[in-house]
Chains A and B, each alone.
Chain A
Amino acid sequence: DRGPPSPSPGDTSVLAGLYGPVEVKGSKELPDRAALEVLLRPKVGLPGVMERSREQLLRRTCETVVLGVLHPRTAITLVLQVLSDAGSLLSCCLNAACMGLLDAGLPLASLFCGITCALDPHGAIILDPTTRQEQDARAVLTFAIDSAERKVLTATTRGSCSVEEMQQCLVAAQRAADTIFQFYRDSVRRKYSKS
């Protein structure tokens, strides 16, 4: 039931550990579906409000794709440990989460991938920006795109941008999603061809 993959765009890396479906204690039990929990541990320091907010985002994203109704009254815990952060951390967490779910063999409605777009001061779109590029950018948008119809599963933005710019970033993200889904496919193929 455990999946420890860690995808890393550039030097950002996140380790994902997935536990479940296992028995759940008392109040957290949901009668009709699995109770999903996400724990995000920053590299340094204790988890704060930002981590809680991201945990909620990751949890709701995973809840949409995981077929929790197949495992009622169980708990699925996803632990993400940030190993290094060189930019695009949230999308790395999203990718790690999806690969963790894949590796653990949980039933999923679709896959998802995380992509970060930064709008630099000139208006150009940079995909998977580094920390430096994120700081200098006018706006940083992170999307989780689903694999079935390339729809937007999750979106979160920092900074302000025009509506047209957001749509352009979304289109760029949807195109880039193809590369990431191909990577998932290749990783899984490699894992199962070893035996």
Chain B
Amino acid sequence: GSITTADGSALVKLGNTTVICGVKAELAAPSVDSANKGYIVPNVELPSLCSTRFRSGPPGEEAQAASQFIADVIENSRIIAKEDLCIANGKLAWVLYCDIICLDCDGNVLDASAFALLAALKNVQLPSVTINEETGLSEVNFKQKNPLIIRNHPVATSFAIFDDTLLIVDPTAEEEDLATGTVTVVTDDEGRLCSVHKPGGSPLTGAKLQDCITRAVTRHKEVKKLIDKVIKSIKPK
């Protein structure tokens, strides 16, 4: 991956928008009410270096809304079954910290973040962990690594709406500023909807929304092919 110190990483460029995602895996005890599940913790950062719109300091509203969006995509699409992250029921599980950082914001950060997350998770190699029966301690074997089981491939497609007549896919920052609304559709491998995210903005008829969804389904196929091609081309270490 792009980040050598991370367990999995990916750098995505959608036009000028550049987003990097690093996945770090740590061990933790699972929570009491879901003893057989691990955790996936996404965090989207929009630092001041990516655009003049953002000031340095605590995460602003857009970063927090983007983090919530990515968390929803992970949850809705079941990209990874949290049960797969469990090593020993009730005792040990993996926590995947997914840090998504925008390096250059030229619009459509949500789509780029979702792609970066998907590609990074496909790139993750987790060391195998066994629990020593006698001591009860965990033993990590860094020489034997396994990839994550990715169950679904959600792809986000964003549209900028202009007065409910014009829809532009993958808007740039300038187009987003001038747009009267945005809508993001997340589809999965089976053509099902994982998310329709339309936070306000110009109203759309059901037919126009259907139009967006149809295009999103087509785009899903193209993006999945591209991600598969890139993952295959990575030479294993």
Using known A-B contacts A49-B67, A64-B181, determine if residue A157 contacts B203 with beta carbons closer than 8 Å. Answer: no
In the complex the two chains form, what is the Cα distance from A121 to B71 in whole Å?
23
What would 9 more interface pairs be, CB under 8 Å, given A53-B69, A64-B200, A154-B201? A60-B201, A146-B203, A152-B203, A153-B200, A154-B200, A155-B183, A157-B195, A158-B72, A160-B192
Asked if residues A163 and B210 are in contact (CB atoms below 8 Å), the reply is: yes
21 A-B pairs with C-beta separation under 8 A: A52-B61, A52-B68, A53-B68, A56-B62, A57-B65, A59-B200, A60-B181, A64-B181, A64-B202, A64-B203, A144-B200, A155-B196, A155-B197, A156-B195, A157-B76, A158-B75, A160-B76, A160-B77, A162-B191, A163-B192, A170-B206
Asked if residues A60 and B199 are in contact (CB atoms below 8 Å), the reply is: yes
Main secondary structure of the interface of B (DSSP, over half): mixed
Asked if residues B203 and A153 are in contact (CB atoms below 8 Å), the reply is: yes
In the complex the two chains form, what is the Cα distance from A59 to B181 in whole Å?
12
In the complex the two chains form, what is the Cα distance from A24 to B200 in whole Å?
23
Asked if residues B200 and A141 are in contact (CB atoms below 8 Å), the reply is: no
In the complex the two chains form, what is the Cα distance from A152 to B77 in whole Å?
23
Q: Which residues of chain A in 138-169 are interfacial with respect to chain B, using CB atoms and an 8 Å cutoff? A: 141, 144, 146, 148-149, 151-163, 166-167
Contact of B204 among A56, A151, A158, A171 (CB under 8 A): A151
Q: Is B84 at the interface (CB under 8 A from chain A)?
A: no
Q: Is B194 at the interface (CB under 8 A from chain A)?
A: yes
Asked if residues B203 and A162 are in contact (CB atoms below 8 Å), the reply is: no
Asked if residues A167 and B75 are in contact (CB atoms below 8 Å), the reply is: no
Using known A-B contacts A50-B68, A161-B192, determine if residue A156 contacts B197 with beta carbons closer than 8 Å. Answer: yes
Contact of B201 among A50, A64, A159, A166 (CB under 8 A): A64
In the complex the two chains form, what is the Cα distance from A49 to B65 in whole Å?
7
In the complex the two chains form, what is the Cα distance from A181 to B73 in whole Å?
32
Q: Is B131 at the interface (CB under 8 A from chain A)?
A: no
Q: Is A61 at the interface (CB under 8 A from chain B)?
A: yes
In the complex the two chains form, what is the Cα distance from A7 to B206 in whole Å?
27
Asked if residues A49 and B68 are in contact (CB atoms below 8 Å), the reply is: yes
Contact of B76 among A154, A159, A162, A174 (CB under 8 A): A159
**Residue tally, chain B, CB below 8 Å to A:** 38
Asked if residues A162 and B192 are in contact (CB atoms below 8 Å), the reply is: yes
Contact of A55 among B61, B67, B71, B197 (CB under 8 A): B61
Main secondary structure of the interface of A (DSSP, over half): helix
In the bound complex, residues from chain B placing their C-beta under 8 Å from that of A58 are 200
Q: Nearest A residue to B203 by beta-carbon distance? A: A151
Q: Is B26 at the interface (CB under 8 A from chain A)?
A: no
Interface size class of A (residues with CB under 8 A): 35 or more
Q: Which of the listed residues A56, A159, A163, A170 has the most CB atoms from chain B within 10 Å of its own CB?
A: A163
- B interface vs A, CB < 8 Å? 61-62, 64-65, 67-69, 71-72, 75-78, 164, 180-181, 183, 188, 191-206, 209-210, 213, 217
Using known A-B contacts A163-B193, A163-B210, determine if residue A152 contacts B68 with beta carbons closer than 8 Å. Answer: no
Q: Is A115 at the interface (CB under 8 A from chain B)?
A: no
In the bound complex, residues from chain A placing their C-beta under 8 Å from that of B195 are 156-158
In the complex the two chains form, what is the Cα distance from A76 to B109 in whole Å?
28
Q: Nearest B residue to A52 by beta-carbon distance? A: B64
Using known A-B contacts A61-B200, A64-B201, A64-B203, determine if residue A161 contacts B64 with beta carbons closer than 8 Å. Answer: no
Asked if residues A167 and B199 are in contact (CB atoms below 8 Å), the reply is: no
